Structure 1
Amino acid sequence: MPTSDAVCVLVPTLDEGETIGDVVRDFRDAGYGNVLVIDGGSTDDTQAVASEAGARVVEQSGTGKGQAVREAIREHVDSEYVLMLDGDGTYEADDAEAMLEPLWSGEADHVIGNRFADMRPGAMTALNRIGNRLINGAFGVIHGESFGDILSGYRAFTRDSFEEMHLTADGFGIETEMAVECAKRGIATTVVPITYYPRPAGSNTNLHPIRDGGIIFLELYRRAKTNNPLFYFGSLGTVSTATGFLVALYVGVEWVTRGISHEVLAVVAAFAILVGVQLLMFGMLADLILSLHREQLRERE
């Protein structure tokens, strides 16, 4: 069985000077000597504190957590296994072994830490809880998988499985994108219960719930185009068709009750219905093609 020497603990940071030192020391005390902090150009003492605590510190060339993760793994990580977490002190090193065990046993190639299994009081606001539940529910509906907590920042994965993914998100959407890629490419994924703590006093979050939540929802929907085309085009087609029927109903009522004809609205209604039906048909065709493609891949494997 592999040892901790085969693991790189990857910590993307931005202005985490208040917490990063304790995070690095906790993992080094737990036996993980290879701790890589990739920093997004912090204006506080994050880099100095992390280096003093024993981490290898690299400043990313771009911006955003997603870009940092891609750059770190492709250019600075040589280890077979990667344990990724945030540097805000909300995750603990004691959960590392449980996160890595499915990789070492061959049970999975990607592990997600479920924060809701043991979330300490004050660790997440009510708004964030609701948003997380909605996003996880939407993920299950759109992509047909239930990973429990797709927004969790505590991940363990093999380097090979990461290389299989096509990741483009620059910001906090990286976790969502990784979950979608796992579902899309059939990467063996398991969920492990972890403990999630409140951010320590003096530590400021870089997350903007409304803005980042909207970006995540859009990413989920955009990714459905290639993973669940029937949902993607079908939802657009349903909206277009329903809108057309509502406009047509209004035109019909106006003509019957008041004798007013809305020629322009009638044309708009017909166009919306036509486009909607075409989108629905295109979604069904795309879904058929995707199913055949997946079947061929399974046969090759």
Structure 2
Amino acid sequence: MKEKVVFIIPCYNESLTIEKVVKDCKKAIPEATVYVYDNNSSDHTDEIARNAGAVVKYEYQQGKGNVVRRMFRDIDADCYIMLDGDDTNPPEFAPEMADLVLNKGVDMVVGDRLSSTYFEENKRPFHNFGNTLVRGSINMLFKSDIKDIMTGYRAFSYNFVKTFPILSKGFEIETEMTIHSVSHNMHVANVVTDYRDRPDGSESKLNTYSDGFKVLRTIFRLFKNYRPFLFFTLIALILFIIGICMFIPVFNTFLITGLVPRIPTLIVSCFFILAALISFFAGIILDVLLSEDKHAFEFRLQQVHANKVIMEKLDNAETL
């Protein structure tokens, strides 16, 4: 049976904060079900969440991306509100986010921490720099205006959840969500939310350097996949410039002397220019395939919407 609004909370060792988070969620939207997905916690996070009134489920593959994949598969709802279990995302903003999904047709609502208290509350300067770098990179590459790329505080529509192919296993999941929604022209809105730093004794599971590198690698991969023409054209331009720079001296020598004394340089320059042409035409071909994939995605959206209507009719029939 499909629910109206649900909170979905991925958790790993959040025993210090999960009780408060669950109770705050119930206070923000009393009629919503609160789901806590425990990801191999060893500090009794699941028991505390269950005692606080949450429905506790489990994902045994480690990693936030794996947890989100499980949540999206398991639960059917009109609106999903995802937030972290570390009490950094105040649930009092959830009603506004849910309203945008339920009544304004928004597919994903981003809880924007960076426009409010994030830089004041967060005491980790490299996290602040990383958030700014990732936001600027994605907005530039994908011509978007997402205010907070890395936030775990989001609301989703049923259509988004059931058509989002999750490939990431860890914390790069937020970046993948953002690029997917922008690339497929889904309706995205920003809601400015407060941010609270973790309480004393609660440690972040995000490693600034290793997870930051994974996020940058994800941006690179998704840039190649979602904007292949621009990606391979840039590579072609670099290869072409290198090839021409190597070719010009050889050509000048030929014009003056009529000889080509540097045959190896000529051969290598021709290889660079040939590689540039191959890269350019690869970008064209992949761009055509991407366009076909977007057509197929729109068809999948229509199928998901049709299934949603059927489920609503069945729910209404059961109610009667």
Aligned pairs, how many? Answer: 293
Give the aligned partner of residue 235 of structure 1.
Answer: 234
Counterpart CA distance in 2 for 1:298 and 1:51 is 39
Deviations 1:197-219 (A, max 9, x none): 11111111111122222212222
Deviations 1:232-260 (A, max 9, x none): 2123223333444455579899999xxxx
Give the aligned partner of residue 219 of structure 1.
Answer: 218
Give the aligned partner of residue 137 of structure 1.
Answer: 136
* Residue 270, structure 1, aligned to residue 270, structure 2: yes
After superposition, where does 1:283-298 map in structure 2 within 5 Å? 283-287=283-287, 290=290
Q: SS of 1:196's equivalent?
A: coil
Match of 1:103 among 101, 108, 133: 101
Shift of 1:292: 7.8
Counterpart CA distance in 2 for 1:175 and 1:205 is 16
Shift of 1:125: 2.4
Q: 1:144 to 1:267 in 2, by over 3 A?
A: same
Give the aligned partner of residue 162 of structure 2.
Answer: 163
Q: 1:70 to 1:297 in 2, by over 3 A?
A: closer
Counterpart CA distance in 2 for 1:168 and 1:244 is 37
Give the aligned partner of residue 114 of structure 2.
Answer: 116
Q: Aligned residues: percent identity?
A: 27
Give the aligned partner of residue 306 of structure 2.
Answer: none
Counterpart CA distance in 1 for 2:37 and 2:295 is 40
Shift of 1:288: 5.7
Counterpart CA distance in 1 for 2:272 and 2:43 is 54
Q: Extract unaligned runs of 5+ from structure 2.
A: 303-320
Q: What letter matches 1:273 in structure 2? A: I
- Segment drifting more, 55-64 vs 219-228: 219-228
After superposition, where does 1:8-157 map in structure 2 within 5 Å? 8-30=6-28, 31=30, 33-75=32-74, 77-120=75-118, 121-123=120-122, 125-157=124-156
Shift of 1:73: 2.0
Deviations 1:94-153 (A, max 9, x none): 111121121122241211111112125232522222211221121122222121112111
Shift of 1:272: 2.1
Cα root mean square deviation, aligned: 3.0
Question: Do the aligned residues in 2 keep the contact of 1:79 with 1:159 (CA within 8 Å)?
Answer: yes
Counterpart CA distance in 1 for 2:90 and 2:31 is 13
Counterpart CA distance in 2 for 1:53 and 1:296 is 43
Shift of 1:262: 5.9
Counterpart CA distance in 1 for 2:249 and 2:44 is 63
Q: SS of 2:215's equivalent?
A: helix
Q: 1:78 to 1:293 in 2, by over 3 A?
A: closer
Q: What letter matches 2:147 in structure 1? A: G
Question: Do the aligned residues in 2 keep the contact of 1:153 with 1:175 (CA within 8 Å)?
Answer: yes
Q: 1:67 to 1:28 in 2, by over 3 A?
A: same
Q: 1:207 to 1:297 in 2, by over 3 A?
A: closer
Counterpart CA distance in 2 for 1:18 and 1:252 is 71
- Segment drifting more, 90-99 vs 102-111: 102-111
- Segment drifting more, 195-204 vs 50-59: 50-59
Shift of 1:270: 2.6
Counterpart CA distance in 2 for 1:155 and 1:32 is 19
Q: 1:44 to 1:263 in 2, by over 3 A?
A: farther
Q: What letter matches 1:113 in structure 2? A: G
Counterpart CA distance in 2 for 1:162 and 1:202 is 34
Counterpart CA distance in 2 for 1:288 and 1:50 is 48
Counterpart CA distance in 2 for 1:297 and 1:181 is 11
Counterpart CA distance in 2 for 1:85 and 1:98 is 14
Give the aligned partner of residue 172 of structure 2.
Answer: 173
Q: 1:110 to 1:278 in 2, by over 3 A?
A: same
> Which of 1 and 2 has greater Rg?
2
Q: Extract unaligned runs of 5+ from structure 1.
A: none
Give the aligned partner of residue 182 of structure 1.
Answer: 181
Question: Do the aligned residues in 2 keep the contact of 1:84 with 1:153 (CA within 8 Å)?
Answer: yes
After superposition, where does 1:238-257 map in structure 2 within 5 Å? 238-245=237-244
Counterpart CA distance in 1 for 2:87 and 2:191 is 19
After superposition, where does 1:202-213 map in structure 2 within 5 Å? 202-213=201-212
TM-score of the pair, normalised by structure 2: 0.81
Q: What letter matches 1:160 in structure 2? A: N
Shift of 1:32: 5.0
Shift of 1:13: 0.9
